[in-house]
């Protein structure tokens, strides 16, 4: 397909597509003349992913490029490609203070939690999710809210089931590259759904427990 058709099918203006090409977020098409290129379904799929990262996930161009580079690195096995691509996504909360005593205590608690779950391969102090976990635990401790194993393990158990469901969805795609792209897109797009469903569930549970409708939309 030519650029105009790619624009029509993707729903993105040609100027935006050209910008993504310049920023190396979209691989170049196959030249059919000095000024025209041909694009395929892989370009359409990549545009949808870029749109999810930048327009919906609010990801900076440089970060999106890092994620896409990991997706395209065929020198890695599938597990490493998936880990690098998802690991390049923004971690969320602010990063922990390496010199803070509360952070050191939170790191010990995080390691204890992961060890108790058998997630010993997750204790990479440089990974975004691990650092975000440490930051959150330190904040809970500082404010006096529960952050012991009894309170945390149920969340981890639910996360395990969700991870299995996520990978089941990813494996519905045929090629390894499509699977990696889907894993990244679903991570970005499903996290708001998880947050929304959790808050809606809170509203529903409050209604059931207290007999009056909690603040927020009814889920009845």
Q: Which pLDDT tens digit goes with each residue over 71-86?
A: 888 888 888 888 777 7
CATH classification at residue 63 = 1.10.1660.10
Question: Count of domains in the chain?
Answer: 2
Identify whether residues 56 and 134 lie together within a single domain: no
Under DSSP, the state recorded for 120 is G
Identify whether residues 172 and 197 lie together within a single domain: yes
Q: Which pLDDT tens digit goes with each residue over 129-164?
A: 888 888 889 888 888 899 999 999 999 999 999 999
Q: Is the dihedral of CA 209, 215, 219, 220 positive or negative?
A: positive
Mean pLDDT of 52-80: 84
Q: Which pLDDT tens digit goes with each residue over 157-199?
A: 999 999 999 999 999 988 888 888 888 888 888 888 998 999 9
- Residue 99 has a pLDDT of 60
* % the chain with pLDDT above 90: 35
Task: Report if residue 205 sits inside a domain.
Answer: yes
- Whether 16 and 24 have beta carbons less than 8 Å apart is answered as no
Q: Which residue has the higher pLDDT, 74 or 215?
A: 74
Give the chain's largest Cα–Cα span. 71
Identify whether residues 52 and 129 lie together within a single domain: no
Q: Is 88 exposed, middle or buried (0-12, 13-18, 19+ CB in 10 A)?
A: buried
Mean pLDDT of the chain: 85
- Residue 214 has a pLDDT of 46
Question: How many CB atoms are closer than 10 A to CB 112?
Answer: 13
Which residue segment(s) compose the domain that 49 sits in?
3-87
CA 150 to chain centre: 26
Identify whether residues 125 and 80 lie together within a single domain: no
- Residue 216 has a pLDDT of 54
Mean pLDDT of 203-213: 81
Q: What is the reported pTM?
A: 0.70
Q: Please state the φ and ψ torsions of residue 88, each to the nearest 5 degrees.
A: -80, -10
Of 87, 119, 144, which one is at a domain's C-terminal end? Answer: 87
Of 87, 122, 155, which one is at a domain's C-terminal end? Answer: 87
- Residue 159 has a pLDDT of 92
Q: How many degrees, rounded to 5, is the angle at CA 194 between CA 51 and CA 68?
A: 30
Under DSSP, the state recorded for 55 is I
- Residue 220 has a pLDDT of 45
- Residue 92 has a pLDDT of 53
- Whether 21 and 12 have beta carbons less than 8 Å apart is answered as no
Tokens standing for residue 20: 């993504």
Nearest to 8 by CA among 17, 20, 182, 23: 17
Task: Report if residue 14 sits inside a domain.
Answer: yes
- Residue 121 has a pLDDT of 75
- The CA radius of gyration of the chain, in Å to the nearest whole number, is 21
Identify whether residues 78 and 151 lie together within a single domain: no
Q: Is the dihedral of CA 205, 208, 214, 219 positive or negative?
A: positive
- pLDDT category at 51 given cuts 50, 70, 90 is confident
Identify whether residues 76 and 107 lie together within a single domain: no
- Residue 66 has a pLDDT of 84
């Amino acid at each position: 397909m030519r650029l105009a058709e790619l624009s029509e099918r993707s729903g993105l203006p040609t100027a935006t597509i050209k910008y993504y090409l310049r920023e190396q977020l979209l691989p170049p098409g196959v030249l059919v003349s000095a000024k025209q290129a041909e694009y395929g379904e892989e370009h359409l799929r990549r545009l949808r992913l870029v749109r999810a990262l930048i327009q919906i996930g609010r990801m900076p161009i440089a970060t999106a490029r890092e994620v896409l580079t990991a997706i395209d690195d065929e020198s890695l096995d599938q597990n490493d490609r998936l880990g690098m691509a998802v690991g390049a996504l923004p971690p969320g909360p602010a990063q922990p203070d390496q010199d803070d005593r509360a952070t050191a205590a939170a790191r010990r608690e995080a390691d204890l939690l992961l060890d108790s779950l058998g997630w010993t391969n997750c204790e990479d102090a440089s990974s975004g999710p691990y650092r975000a976990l440490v930051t959150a635990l330190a904040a809970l401790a500082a404010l006096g809210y529960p952050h012991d194993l009894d309170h945390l393990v149920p969340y981890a158990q639910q996360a395990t089931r969700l991870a299995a469901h996520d990978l089941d969805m990813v494996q519905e795609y045929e090629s390894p590259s499509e699977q990696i792209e889907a894993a990244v897109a679903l991570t970005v797009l499903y996290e708001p759904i998880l947050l929304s469903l959790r808050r809606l569930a809170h509203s529903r549970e409050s209604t059931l427990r207290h007999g009056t409708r909690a603040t927020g939309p009814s889920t009845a």
